[in-house]
Chains A and B, each alone.
Chain A
Amino acid sequence: MASLVAACMTSHAPNMTATPAAAPEQRARFLAGLAEMRRRLVAARPDLVIMFVNDHVQNFFYDNLPAYCVGVGDTHWAPKGAASFLKIPQRQVPGAGAWGKALLAAGLEAGFDLAVSHDLEFWDDVSVPAHFLMPEGTLPILPVLTNCVAPPLPTPRRSWALGQFIRRFVDAQPGHERVAMIATGGISHWIGVPNTGHISPEWDRWVLDTIADGRGEELAGLTWEQIERDGGNGGQEIRNWISVLAAVPGVKGEVLAYEPVKEWLTGCGAVWMQV
């Protein structure tokens, strides 16, 4: 049977690569955390990675906006149009189309009516973490996208249930694939709103302490209003983390890095979950 061999979460921000000279000391410390995450990922020898990420209104607009979507393409752009801005060369990364289609079908059977896309273009959501964690661009990526940016958003409780379901799906696959899960996004940040650039280290620490203590399910009880108030509109991306936490319930997270980086406009965390 297939097996889950790694689970982790990291923040993403365009300025991690777009402004490489900014905040050199914090940058070095955070990227050291990602380097350790990469070392552990490589050691886990995954055959594919399920990435829990969010669109930033580049693939999905208000004319057709899914709460959850699975990317079933055989390749994904990461990045394409955002390459010059992110200072990451355009590249196509391999998808996991067969797994994606199986997940789509299993979801429909289980009551998770995921939307589907055969053609996704990623921004910092996938491109920046993949640049640091999977620079070779050879590991197939199965993206699961959650609407975290255009309210009303799916509830954190639903993202927990989705993560539980995807863990069951992985465990039920008949092959011998080794599967990693990576969530990106969060922690606190305020973007494009009147107090853009604000970060709440207090909320970030509460999120990280909750995960480190093995109480990740408490995050599933948060409301949109609580997250918006304490973690900002960017904090809504914590839904991606919640799905991975649901796949490894009760596990105590190990914080590999935390830096509230003003120049990245984001409270940045990187957490490893022992599978």
Chain B
Amino acid sequence: MSDYHLNRVLYDRAREHKMAESIGPDELTGYDLTAEERAALAAGDLDALFRLGANPYLIRRVFRRRYAL
């Protein structure tokens, strides 16, 4: 399974400068994602997103509020 659509979710938010704590199912209509990817987004599980192939710069940008610095 390609990580393209997972990164697409994050890129689309990053382009709009939208930060998130998590990204729930109602925001994921139209994205071709696996159940594991949807779960990681819904939980805001940053380590899981990284393991699943999310670009770390996009993780950092979208979930910036989750970091202390």
Which B19-69 residues have a C-beta within 8 angstroms of A?
Answer: 46-47, 50, 55-61, 67-69
In the complex, A182 Cα to B55 Cα: how many Å?
26
- Are B47 and A57 interface neighbours, CB within 8 A? no
Residue with the greatest number of chain B CB neighbours at <10 A, chosen from A19, A61, A263, A265: A61
- Are B11 and A57 interface neighbours, CB within 8 A? yes
Interface SS, B side: helix
A263 interface neighbour in B8, B15, B69, Cβ under 8 Å: B69
- Are A193 and B7 interface neighbours, CB within 8 A? no
Contacts between the two chains (Cβ within 8 Å), count: 55
Task: State which size class the interface on B falls in.
Answer: 20 to 34
Closest Cβ neighbor of B4 among chain A residues: A62
B55 interface neighbour in A22, A192, A265, Cβ under 8 Å: A192
In the complex, A193 Cα to B60 Cα: how many Å?
8
Known: A57-B11, A62-B7, A81-B17. A197 touches B56 (CB 8 A): no
Q: CB of A149 within 8 A of chain B?
A: yes
Closest CB-CB distance, A50 to chain B, in whole Å? 24
Closest CB-CB distance, A78 to chain B, in whole Å? 16
Q: What residues on A are CB-neighbors of B14 within 8 Å?
A: 57-58
Q: CB of A15 within 8 A of chain B?
A: yes
- Are A57 and B57 interface neighbours, CB within 8 A? yes
Known: A61-B7, A196-B67. A150 touches B15 (CB 8 A): no
Q: What residues on A are CB-neighbors of B47 within 8 Å?
A: 194
- Are B55 and A57 interface neighbours, CB within 8 A? yes
In the complex, A57 Cα to B58 Cα: how many Å?
7
Which residues of A pack against B, CB within 8 Å?
15, 19, 22, 56-58, 61-62, 81-82, 84-85, 149-150, 191-194, 196-197, 233, 262-263, 265
Which residues of B pack against A, CB within 8 Å?
4, 7-8, 11, 14-15, 17, 46-47, 50, 55-61, 67-69
